[in-house]
Amino acid sequence: MRPMKLMNDMSGMKNFLPGILSLIMALAVYQASPAQGSDLVKTVENQARIIKIAAKRYEYTPREIVIKKGQPVVLQLTTEDRSHGFNIPALNLRADIKRDQVTELKFTPQTTGDLNFYCDIFCGTGHDDMAGKFKVVE
């Protein structure tokens, strides 16, 4: 594995330095972005991005998330109160979010633009406002 080789062959360090710096900078950007929720969003380059979204009456946290076109996404959905739904109509993708469970949804955005999501389980007076969006960028 490349990291182990790096540890054992310090003479090749300069070959990997740009990549390491890029990774550190990328992580720094994600950590610094309040809109993405620094402790809710974790990314490993070239792997699926795991995004945790918490549902409760009548909102998702976070409710607006920037993701990259072509990068696989794994949503980890939880609820703090009652059952909610999570529906991305443009992808024909949905799931129930139940208490004391983590529900995973996976997708890879193929085009840039907005991907709206909403709660499709009627949950009370503010149900109609329970929605959010992914902003898919290059």
Partner 1 sequence: MTEDIDRREFLKLTGGSVGVGLGVVYLSGLFEPAGARSIWGLKNNDFHFVQLSDSHWGFEGPKVNPDALGTLPRAVKEVNSLKQNPDFIVFTGDLIQTTDDTNVRRKRMKEFKQIVSELEAKIYFMPGEHDASLDNGETYREFFGETHYTFDHKGTHFIVLDNVSDPGGIIGEGQLEWLKNDLNKIKKDQPIVVLTHRPLFPLYPQWDWTTRDGGKALDLLMPFANVAVFYGHIHQEHHHQTGHIAHHSARSLMLPLPVAGSVPERKPILWSASEPYKGLGFRDIFSHRKGDYALTEFPIKEDAKV
The site for partner 1 (CB under 8 A) is made up of 83, 85, 87, 89-90, 96, 116, 118, 120-125, 127-128, 131
Q: Name the residue nearer to partner 1 (CB basis): 49 or 132.
A: 132
3 state DSSP class of 71:
coil
Q: How far is the CB of 126 from partner 1 (least distance, A)?
A: 10
Provide, rounded to whole angstroms, the least separation between the CB of residue 105 and partner 1: 16
- Beta strand 73-79 with 49-56 is parallel
Interacting residues of 52 by C-beta distance below 8 A, sequence separation 6+:
37, 40, 41, 75, 76, 78
Minimum CB distance to partner 1 smaller for 108 or for 116: 116
Q: How far apart are CA 108 and CA 118, in angstroms?
A: 18
Of 68 and 127, which CB lies nearer to partner 1 in the complex structure? Answer: 127
